Amino acid sequence: DSNPIPVLAVARLSPLYMSQLAAACELHVLPDLDAAALAAVAPRIRAVAASGDSKVPASLIDQLPALQVISVMGVGYDGVDVAAAKARGVVVTHTPDVLNDDVADLALGLMLSTARQLPAADRFVRGGQWLQGNMPLARKMSGARLGIVGMGRIGQAIAQRALAFNMTVAYTARSAKPELPHRYLPSAAALAEVSDFLVVITPGGAGTRHLINAEVLDALGRSSPGGGILVNVARGSVVDDAALIDALERGVIAGAGLDVFEDEPRVPERLRALPQVVLTPHVGSATQGTRQAMADLAFANLQLRLAGQPARTPVPECR
Ligand code: 8YV
């Protein structure tokens, strides 16, 4: 059969992924389709392409009777209704591991940027304030206590880097990992209490929604004089943004480095107004080589499944 396979991209995805899909498949892009156009093509769609932050709800899966695979370009897939897909025999795939280094690098970058106030220092020089005197003193990162919320592959890559800064590493996760040399704490609050830096790198979704709440932020505030620093490179949903803004405005914690937000790309004005906060636009995996590797893996997963072969990296629930 030489007819290209109909594929639905649920958003305007990375061009690195879209270009491969467009070359090999009959590519339909959901935001370009009205209801009638979607209804016309839906019965033939055999694959859905998505990104880590896409929504693929049961209501969409139900409209696609010939669907075989949902291939996410991203490690996170909290926007996909995996149970609905599984119930239909649809395999969900994602792109783990190829982005571990980049996300861990960004986590360390946000820790340093927040502790040493690098964006503020840059503004200080550009704005000519140096001529009037020196900046307020910053916080030391080397030797400090790091708490990691979620000790999967990326969490472990962050821990490895932190050891080079002579940091002590502790973590919380659903269960202790006895093979790791780091101290396990049973809750985010217990971990925050003993952390100068609390880094969030747990999957998103209902199970972790607002895991970092006022109680955890209060504990982080008690951890060190002036409070600890929060870094989030996971999902915006894991942190209660209202509680975070409150903790920052009241000086409960010292600062935050944030790559993800509850309602991104909308970032609350009150958060953007705070000088002790460093903000990046969800760029944890956004380097050229890594995004290419993610696109290649997502495309390979989609093609393998459509060819009747096992996908390379199905999500754990579909293994
Ligand atoms: C991007 C991500 O959102 O991998 C993830 O889970 O959050 C990201 O890398 C996106 O999926 C890139 O296409």
Q: What pLDDT score was predicted for residue 3?
A: 83
Q: Known catalytic residues?
A: 235, 264, 282
Ligand 1 atom nearest 295 alpha carbon: 13
**In this structure, is residue 284 part of a structural domain?**
no
- 114 shares a domain with 214: yes
Distance (Å, rounded) from C-alpha 310 to C-alpha 68?
12
Element (H, E) at 75: none
* Tokens, residue 289: 């080589």
- 309 shares a domain with 197: no
**In this structure, is residue 310 part of a structural domain?**
yes
- 21 shares a domain with 134: no
- 118 shares a domain with 85: no
- 59 shares a domain with 185: no
| End-to-end Cα, the chain, rounded Å | 29
**In this structure, is residue 234 part of a structural domain?**
yes
- 234 shares a domain with 108: yes
- 205 shares a domain with 194: yes
Ligand 1, atom 13, residue with closest C-alpha: 51
Could you tell me the distance, in angstroms and rounded to a whole number, from the CA of residue 198 to the centre of ligand 1? 21
ipTM of the complex: 0.96
Ligand 1, atom 6, residue with closest C-alpha: 76
Q: What pLDDT score was predicted for residue 1?
A: 53
**In this structure, is residue 254 part of a structural domain?**
yes
- 265 shares a domain with 134: yes
* Tokens, residue 169: 């590493």
- 263 shares a domain with 242: yes
Structural domain boundaries enclosing 314: 5-98+289-318
* Contact in structure between 197 and 146 (CB atoms under 8 Å): yes
**In this structure, is residue 45 part of a structural domain?**
yes
Give residue ranges with CB within 6 A of ligand 1: 14, 51-53, 73-76, 99, 282, 284-285
CB half-sphere exposure, 154, CA atoms < 13 A: 28
**In this structure, is residue 123 part of a structural domain?**
yes
Could you tell me the distance, in angstroms and rounded to a whole number, from the CA of residue 98 to the centre of ligand 1? 11
* Contact in structure between 51 and 295 (CB atoms under 8 Å): no
Ligand 1, atom 4, residue with closest C-alpha: 74
Q: Averaged in consecutive runs of 10 residues, what is the pLDDT profile of the chain (319 residues)? A: 88 98 98 97 98 96 98 98 98 98 98 98 98 97 98 98 98 97 98 98 97 98 97 98 98 98 98 97 98 98 98 97
How many separate domains does the chain show? 2
Ligand 1 atom nearest 74 alpha carbon: 4
Choose the residue to mutate in 21, 70, 75, 201 for probing ligand 1, maximizing ligand atoms within 8 Å of C-beta. 75
- 293 shares a domain with 155: no
Ligand 1, atom 3, residue with closest C-alpha: 52
* Tokens, residue 146: 């790091």
**In this structure, is residue 9 part of a structural domain?**
yes
Choose the residue to mutate in 12, 53, 261 for probing ligand 1, maximizing ligand atoms within 8 Å of C-beta. 53
Entry pTM: 0.97
CATH of the domain at 274: 3.40.50.720
- 119 shares a domain with 73: no
Ligand 1, atom 5, residue with closest C-alpha: 74
* Contact in structure between 278 and 255 (CB atoms under 8 Å): yes
**In this structure, is residue 141 part of a structural domain?**
yes
- 207 shares a domain with 60: no
Distance (Å, rounded) from C-alpha 93 to C-alpha 293?
14
